[in-house]
Amino acid sequence: MSYDVLILGGGPAGMSAALNVRARGRSALVVSNPLEENPLWKAEKVDNHLGMPAQSGAEMLANLRRHAEDAGVVFQTGRVISAMALDDTWYVSIGAEMENAKALVLASGVQRGKKFPGEEEYLGRGVSYCATCDGMLYRGKSVAVIGYTDSARHEADFLSSIGCSVTYFEKPKTCLIEGGASVERVTVNGETLECECVFLLRPAMAPTDIFPGLAVEGSFVKVDRKMATNIPGLFAAGDCTGGPLQVSKAIGEGLIAGQSAAAYVAKK
């Protein structure tokens, strides 16, 4: 299905952007990991967002989601792997599925943790971020899954179900990926496994992995006052644009990004 604006990330910034796209009469799709995997979910008490005192992170997220859904925002659970603009339309891969939209808002939060040695080098040659996309290539073969979320366990189960021999590692401290022309082994926390693929299933991906050419400052996305990035039709909001890494700032930037994306669509 085609949407006016697709929002990547269903935290406070993404939901605020989506609500404000709907307020401008445009359709909005939010693609995100499950709500319980949002980092704010674990906050015992959020006390510095005006008008919503003493809520737990989970309560706050559930309230934001209800508000957005009531306004007609569509939610899809999944992980965005890549995005490509072609003839004024964005094509976004969500696992093995595809959605398209006229504009995008990136609201993916912060990526916690650095890339592992060998990850960049072997990406596409035995390093994958998506089990459902690349799993079939490794049927009958030994693969490692480095999982960070409950959904990663489901992806590992999927790999087993199609005949991969899966070794699952949870949130490792160290990981070294090695091989020749393609991956041959991975060493996780000192334990070496011969394998042909390492699936790295993190909750978030680096924005520059999804959008090659995206301008960044350090690990944060560069935006102007309209929350526009250097890529036409791509806006950004929330923690991914830099500090303060706080709910109120994320919601405020989401509003601007949503309005800017809707205005961009209106001009098309």
Ligand X SMILES: Cc1cc2nc3c(=O)[nH]c(=O)nc-3n(C[C@H](O)[C@H](O)[C@H](O)COP(=O)(O)OP(=O)(O)OC[C@H]3O[C@@H](n4cnc5c(N)ncnc54)[C@H](O)[C@@H]3O)c2cc1C
Of residues 44-73, which lie at the interface with ligand X (CB under 6 A)? Answer: 46, 48-49
Select from 177, 247, 255, 262 the one that contacts ligand X (CB under 6 A): 247
Whole-angstrom distance, CA of residue 42 vs CA of residue 38: 8
Q: Judged by CB under 6 A, which stretch of 67-75, 173-181, 200-208, 256-264 contacts ligand X? A: 200-208
Task: State CA 20 to chain mean position distance.
Answer: 20
Please compute, for residue 160, the number of CA atoms within 13 A of its CA located in the half-sphere on the CB side: 10
Hey, what are 186's tokens? 């991975």
Number of residues that bind ligand X (CB under 6 A): 34
- The reply to whether 95 sits near ligand X by the rule CB under 6 A is no
Of residues 125-154, which lie at the interface with ligand X (CB under 6 A)? Answer: none
- The reply to whether 99 sits near ligand X by the rule CB under 6 A is no
Select from 28, 31, 64, 227 the one that contacts ligand X (CB under 6 A): 31
- The reply to whether 14 sits near ligand X by the rule CB under 6 A is yes
DSSP 257: H
Q: Please say which residue, 95 or 135, places its beta carbon nearer to ligand X.
A: 95
Q: Judged by CB under 6 A, which stretch of 25-33, 116-124, 180-188, 221-229 contacts ligand X? A: 25-33
Contact (Cβ atoms closer than 8 angstroms) between residue 204 and residue 111:
yes
143: closest CA among 201, 214, 217?
201
- The reply to whether 229 sits near ligand X by the rule CB under 6 A is no
Give the list of residues 6+ apart from residue 8 with CB closer than 8 angstroms, or none: 14, 31, 32, 80, 83, 92, 104, 105, 106, 107, 108, 210
**Site for ligand X, rule CB under 6 A:** 8-14, 31-33, 37-40, 42-43, 46, 48-49, 79-80, 107-109, 203-205, 238-239, 245-248, 250
